[in-house]
Amino acid sequence: MKEERRLREAVVATGIEMERLGFAVAKSGNVSCRIGSGMLITPTALPYAKTRPEDVVLMSLDAGEMPTDATPSSEWRFHAAIYRAQPEADAIVHTHSPHASALSCARRSIPAFHYTVGLAGGTDIRCADYATFGTQELADNVLRALEGRRAVLLANHGVIAFGPTLERALTLASEVESLAQRYLALLSAGLEPVILDEAEMQRVAEQFHRYGRD
């Protein structure tokens, strides 16, 4: 019970931090973490500042019975799908951070114009195909885009990032937002970014692993 309480508090704290960063205006986005064979996820339509640890919804990964009558985030489907498909995912944040969301509206992936793109686990940060929020179709699109990755853009929507902890997941989402801001700055200036090749990004991945940043 102490561990569950700690995780509930961490989910709420992460949502509040997302809002402070400007990543979750007006209760946008959502947060979850794995617990046992299920997950804890933020409730729908409740501002983070008013969310109590007991409001966080405990549910199974197959959308089975919930021990309360609370309603989970409308995006629970892609959270559950990621946990089922990615054993290394123990925490997920979904943000509407401004620059990454703007780039997602152009349905553009972020190429390896900067070596820290590799923090997301590959040679680019893909943009998942568009689908209506809260649908199984969106969850399926997310899984395809996340293959070999730890973060993706969602077309006309926002960002998903996962990690071994909520802190790491939010840090990665922050990295994605920073990269999107810099990439948009280059595009706005009419400059053509020089893209690092696959061999260099492999060396980057090895360096990240060596220094514990993967």
Q: What is the residue-wise DSSP string for the chain?
A: -HHHHHHHHHHHHHHHHHHHTTSSGGG-SEEEEEETTEEEEPBTT--GGG--GGGSEEEETTS---SSS--B-TTHHHHHHHHHH-TT--EEEEE--HHHHHHHHTT--EESSSGGGGGGTSSEE-EEPP--TTSHHHHHHHHHHTTT-SEEEETTTEEEEEESSHHHHHHHHHHHHHHHHHHHHHHHTT--PPPPPHHHHHHHHHHHHHTT--
> Is the pTM value of this prediction over 0.85?
yes
pLDDT tens digits, 19-64: 999 999 878 899 999 999 999 999 998 999 999 999 999 999 986 5
User: What pLDDT is recorded for position 212?
Assistant: 73
User: What pLDDT is recorded for position 210?
Assistant: 87
User: What pLDDT is recorded for position 66?
Assistant: 61
User: What pLDDT is recorded for position 214?
Assistant: 72
What phi and psi, each to the nearest 5 degrees, are found at residue 139?
A: -60, -40
Q: Which residues of the chain have pLDDT under 70?
A: 63-69
Q: Where do the domains of the chain lie, and which CATH numbers do they carry?
A: 2-210 (3.40.225.10)
Active site residues: 75
User: What pLDDT is recorded for position 25?
Assistant: 85
Number of neighbouring beta carbons within 10 Å of residue 6: 11
pLDDT tens digits, 109-126: 999 999 999 999 999 999
